[in-house]
């Protein structure tokens, strides 16, 4: 399958990442038009790529690990474009583009590996389950990015070292709020995705079920502990990064268990 669109999207994210490194090295970084245009270009190209492969496969294009990684990259950019301006996190793109670039690069280096056409038999509930789950991963990814930004700023404030990055980060309180709200958004999407899967009646491997359930419970525990005031913003940020790391680690196994044998 032609990877022209996917390669173009990867290049757009590399451009954003490269610009960020150059500007930070020069000590004059100001997030703005270059990052936004690069990310928007990557999102458009990924959208076209997903559309083309969806038409070719006759179903939502999430039928292999390659598909999942591309769809998750698209989800991360979608959530960023929707919520970034709302929280005034323009620098969020500078942190998001390296993550999406690495995911796309990993997908590019592997085989396409698509499965049989129409694997889901166009069951709307099954496709909704899979799509909502991956969009939830996009929200969790941005929560982890916001958490990383929070921890970076918290560390610089504690050691009283003001670098160029510190002056361009949003207020630390805004980062804490954004981190928590993105976790709530992802948790709501993941819960809805699980409900769609339950309604569909699709058979789920026990290991896949518990792997997915542990991720759901992990984020649920973060929200519960924060709700009862036992998890301060710093620990919430660290926990969101840890659980997302676990989710990324488990993703290949979950996809393998989802594949027809």
Tokens of 250: 């488990």
Q: Which of 117, 112, 49 is nearest to 77 (CA)?
A: 49
Residue-range domain boundaries for the chain: 4-112+120-258
* pLDDT for 219: 96
Report the chain (261 residues): mean pLDDT per 10 consecutive residues.
82 87 67 78 94 83 84 92 66 81 84 47 77 92 92 81 62 87 95 90 76 92 90 93 90 62 46
Comparing C-alpha atoms, which of 139, 142, 143 is closest to residue 237? 143
Question: Cβ neighbours of residue 57 under 8 Å, at least 6 residues apart?
Answer: 63, 114, 117, 118, 119
CA-wise closest residue to 175 among 240, 223, 221, 228: 240
pLDDT computed for residue 47 by the predictor: 95
- Quick one: 184 exposed, middle or buried, by C-beta within 10 A (0-12, 13-18, 19+)? middle
Query: 42 CB contacts (<8 Å, ≥6 apart)?
Result: 9, 10, 12, 13, 16, 77, 97, 100
Q: What is the DSSP string of 11-44?
A: HHHHHHHHHHHHHHHHT----SHHHHHHHHHHHH
**Measured distance CA(29)–CA(236) in Å, rounded:** 28
Q: Shortest CA distance to 185 belongs to which of 234, 229, 219?
A: 219
State the pTM of this model: 0.84
d(C-alpha 252, C-alpha 162), whole Å: 40
CA distances from 35 to 72, 97, 99, 142, 245 (A): 20, 8, 14, 16, 25
Backbone angles phi, psi at 259, to 5 degrees: -75, 145
User: Given this model, what pLDDT does residue 4 score?
Assistant: 86
pLDDT at 228: 87
Tokens 């038999």 sit at which residue? 121
Looking at residue 117, its pLDDT comes to 44
């Amino acid at each position: 399958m032609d990877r022209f669109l996917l390669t173009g999207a990867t290049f757009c994210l590399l451009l954003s990442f490269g610009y960020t490194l150059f500007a930070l090295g020069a000590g004059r970084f100001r997030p703005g038009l270059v990052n936004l245009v690069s990310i928007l270009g990557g999102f458009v190209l990924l959208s076209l790529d997903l559309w083309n492969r969806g038409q070719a496969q006759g179903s939502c294009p999430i039928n292999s690990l390659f598909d999942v990684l591309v769809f998750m990259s698209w989800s991360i950019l979608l959530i960023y474009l929707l919520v970034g301006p709302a929280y005034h996190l323009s620098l969020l793109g500078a942190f998001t583009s390296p993550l999406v670039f690495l995911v796309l690069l990993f997908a590019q280096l592997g085989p396409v590996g698509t499965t049989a056409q129409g694997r889901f038999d166009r069951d709307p509930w099954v496709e909704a389950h899979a799509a909502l789950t991956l969009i939830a991963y996009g929200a969790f990814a941005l929560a982890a990015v916001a958490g990383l930004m929070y921890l970076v700023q918290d560390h610089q404030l504690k050691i009283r070292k003001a670098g160029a990055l510190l002056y361009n980060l949003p207020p630390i309180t805004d980062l804490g709020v954004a981190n928590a709200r993105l976790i709530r958004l992802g948790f709501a999407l993941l819960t809805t995705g699980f409900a769609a899967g339950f309604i569909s009646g699709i058979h789920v491997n026990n290991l896949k079920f518990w792997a997915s359930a542990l991720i759901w419970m992990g984020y649920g525990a973060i929200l519960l502990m924060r709700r009862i005031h036992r998890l301060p913003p710093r620990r919430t940020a660290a926990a969101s990064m840890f659980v997302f790391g676990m989710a990324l680690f488990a993703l290949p196994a979950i996809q393998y268990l989802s594949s027809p044998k």
